[in-house]
Amino acid sequence: MNIAEALAAATERLENSGIPESRREAASLIAFAIGRERVFLIAHPEYILTVDETAAIDESVKRRSSREPFQYIVGRQEFYALDFEVSPSVLIPRPETELLVARAIDELSKIDEPQFCEIGVGSGCISISVLYNVPNATAVGLDISEAALAVARKNADRHNVLGRLDLRSSDIYGSLTPRQFHAILSNPPYIPSSDMPALQPEVSEFEPRVALTDGGSGIEIIERIIAGAPTFLLDGGILMLEIGAGQSEIVCEMFDPMVWRTVIVLPDLQQIPRTVIAVKK
């Protein structure tokens, strides 16, 4: 079998499984499976695949046909211009989360030696992206999943920020020192459990449920983060949270005006209110 034939077969298989942009995904899977760039497929459609290459392609296409996310198959995802390892132990980084990162970089760059904490560090994409772009910053990353922390540790090492990122196995605010941080960042599990069945199978069946939903209304962990943040933020410190569609009003009501100076909500590229930024008095 040559590349052209393999591409046609893989495209049909993915299309029959309901995968959007099946030809593009088929090409990416084949390139990954044979260890080549996609341009090689275009330049050499007549290339005869080896038995091992054919088997690798078949395995990758089989996994994607089952609706396993492409990122888990190839084991990586780009985020904020950096390459991150991902596995089923961590949430796949999303473009909308880059909004939170960009704002965190902007705010922390104004401080001489900024310290921040991330709650639910996952793959580490948020903390690592901030540390990479703010060289004088240090951070504490918390997660209840040891497997997620292992992935974050690898990513921090890959991007040479491991020495500035203290990764801890902990629930919300566990083992932290009061009045320590200039900022607290989090992309918490905010999807209501009632919405989970309607999600794409790539999300509902493969990504870690604990990173997607709190098992209830979707705002319970957000409420805990907001309630505890004043204890661990310095005066003038900033809390930055990603939230779900339709949650901005109820989340903003959680901030006590006696404690917080300002609360704003920034929209994502689809104009959905996505990132809450609150400044402590």
Domain ranges of the chain: 3-66, 87-280
Tens digit of pLDDT for each residue in 109-122?
999 999 999 999 99
pLDDT at 84: 98
Tokens of 190: 């905010």
CA distances from 145 to 48, 69, 150, 155, 168 (A): 44, 20, 9, 16, 10
| Of the candidate ranges 69-73, 107-111, 175-179, 225-229, the one whose mean pLDDT is the lowest | 175-179
Residue 175 has pLDDT above 90, yes or no: no
pLDDT at 248: 95
pLDDT (tens digit per residue) in 18-66? 999 999 999 999 999 999 999 999 999 999 999 999 999 999 999 999 9
Q: Which CATH architecture group holds 87-280? A: 3-Layer(aba) Sandwich (3.40)
Residue 239's DSSP bridge partners are 184, 278
pLDDT greater than 90 at residue 259: yes
Pair of tokens at residue 149: 């922390």
**Residues whose CB falls within 8 Å of the CB of residue 192, separated by 6 or more in sequence, listed in order:** 213, 216, 217, 218, 244
Share of the chain above pLDDT 70, in %: 100
Model-wide pTM > 0.95? no
3-state secondary structure 3-68: HHHHHHHHHHHHHHCCCCCHHHHHHHHHHHHHCCCHHHHHHCCCCECCHHHHHHHHHHHHHHHCCC
pLDDT of residue 162: 97
How high is the pLDDT of residue 42?
93
Chain segment 121-142, per-residue pLDDT in tens: 999 999 999 999 999 999 999 9
Looking at residue 177, its pLDDT comes to: 86
173 or 68, which is more confident: 68
Looking at residue 174, its pLDDT comes to 84
Query: Is pLDDT of 186 > 90?
Result: yes
